[in-house]
Amino acid sequence: MGDAIQYETGEIEEGVSFGANSKIKARKVLIRKDCSIGENVEIYADNLLVDEGAKIEHGVVIKGKNVHISKNVKITQQTSVFSLDIYIDENTRIDDNATIIAYEKLRVGKNSIVRRNVRFKARSIEIGDFFYSDDNPTPLIIGGGGSDRPTARIKIGSRCVMHDSYVNVCMPVEIGNNVGFSPGSAIITHGFWDSVIEGYSSKFAPVIIGNNVIIGYRAIILPGVNIGDYCSIGAGAVVTKSFPSYCVIGGVPAKVIKTQPDYPEKLTFEDKIKIMKDLIDEYAELLEDRVENVTLTKKDDTSIIAGEYLSKKFQIIFSPYLKDRSFDQNLRTIFLTFESIQVSHRNFLINLSDYSWSGTDDEITDDLRDFLRHYGIRIFSRHFHSIPPKSKRELLDT
C-alpha cells in the first residue's frame, strides 16, 4: 500500500484492492474484505469505514470527518462527495461525474441510485431508501442561490423519483415518501430583484411536499407552498399557494381542478380485479416481444402467463385469492394476489392489497415490477432491470 495509505489506528482486511496512485489519509480506518479502491482515488477523513463489497472507482474524491460507505455501495468514476458527516447506506450507487456537497451532513438511504452528472449543494442533504434520479442530458440539480445558508437543508423521503429537476434550497425543503418529479419540474424557495426599500417585494420561505405526490412536467412550486398528501400537480402548473391533501392541481396560477369525493376514484373490489386482468392481458402481449413461448390462459378470475427466458420456464399467476390451485406447481411461479400467502423460497409473491412482497427475485420479477410501476403499482425489493426486446438483444449480438 505504501505511503499513500496513511492512518493511525484501524484495519484493512484481506482482499481489499487499491489502484495506482490511490490515496487515503485518515485517523481511524476500517476497510472490510472484498472492497476495491480504483486508480487516483482520494479519501480524506478522521473516521473512515468502507464496508464489505464496496467499490470506489477511479478518480473519486471523498472528503469529510466521519465517512461511512456501507456494504455493496458503488461510487463510479470522477465523482466528488464532500461533507463533514457522510453516510451512504447499502446497495446504493452514485454514478459518474456526480458532485455532492453537503457541508454538515449527507445521508443517502439504501438501494438508491443517484445518476451521473447530478449537482447537489446544501448545508444538509438527507435522502431516503430507494431514491432514483433519472439519467437525462440535463442533470438533476439541488442547490442554487443561497445554498451556503444555515437554512439550506433538504430532506427527501423514501421511494422518490427525480428527473432533470431543479430544487433551490436557500430555505428548507421537505419532501415526503413516494414523490415523483417529472422532467423540468422545479421548487423555488426564494425570489427577489428590485430594492425592498423602494417598495419591491422579496420572499424567502420553505417548501413542504407531502407523501404520494406527483409533480408534472415543467411544473414550478414557489416559496412558502405546502402541498398535502396524494396530490397531482399538472404539467406546466405554477403553484403559488398551498393546497390540502387529495387534490388535482393545475393552471397558471394553479388552482384545484378535482378533489374529494371525486378524487381519487372510488373502486369496488370487482373494479380492481378487472383492472388487474386487463393489465395481465397487456403484460402478456408485451412479454411476447421479450421472452419465448408465451401463452395466456384464463379461468374465471384467474389469469396465467407462461413463458421461457434464458432456457428457464416460468409462470405468472394473477388470482384475487388463489382459490384455484390447478396450475403447474413445479414451475418457478410469480403470484399476484390480494391476500398474504406463504410461498416457497424459489417463488415470488406480490400482495396487491399492501404492495408487499416475499420470495426470490429474478429477471422476470424485475421486468414485471417495471411494468407495474407504469401504473403506479410500485414494489420495492432489489434494483430492477427490464428485459430488453428480442430485437435489441439480437442487434447487440451482431
pLDDT tens readout for residues 176-210: 999 999 999 999 999 999 999 999 999 999 999 99
User: Of the candidates 139, 142, 160, 162, which has an alpha carbon nearest to the alpha carbon of residue 152?
Assistant: 142
Question: Which value, to the nearest 10 degrees, does the dihedral of the CA atoms of residues 15, 16, 18, 24 take?
Answer: -150
What pLDDT score was predicted for residue 325?
Answer: 65
Neighbours of 295 (CB within 10 A): 11
Compute CA distances 11 → 28, 51, 158, whole Å.
9, 12, 33
List average pLDDT for each run of 10 residues in the chain, which is 398 residues long: 78 92 95 95 97 97 98 97 98 96 98 95 97 89 94 97 96 98 97 92 96 98 98 97 97 96 94 96 96 94 94 94 73 92 89 94 95 94 86 85
Cα-Cα-Cα-Cα dihedral sign, residues 264, 270, 276, 282: negative
CA distance 312 to 229: 42
User: Which residues are within 8 A (CB) of 309 and not within 5 positions of it... i.e. 6 or more apart?
Assistant: 290, 291, 292, 363, 364, 387
Quick check: helix, strand or coil at residue 143? strand
CA distance 80 to 242: 36
> Of 58, 68, 163, 190, which residue is the catalytic one?
190
Identify whether the C-beta of residue 54 lies closer than 8 Å to the C-beta of residue 30.
no
User: Which residues are within 8 A (CB) of 103 and not within 5 positions of it... i.e. 6 or more apart?
Assistant: 82, 83, 84, 122, 123, 124, 148
What pLDDT score was predicted for residue 4?
Answer: 84
pTM: 0.92
CA distance 246 to 228: 7
Q: Is 268 exposed, middle or buried (0-12, 13-18, 19+ CB in 10 A)?
A: exposed
The DSSP output letter for 177 is S
Residue 190: active-site member: yes
What pLDDT score was predicted for residue 21?
Answer: 93
What pLDDT score was predicted for residue 136?
Answer: 81
For the chain, the farthest-separated pair of C-alpha atoms sits apart, in whole angstroms, at: 80
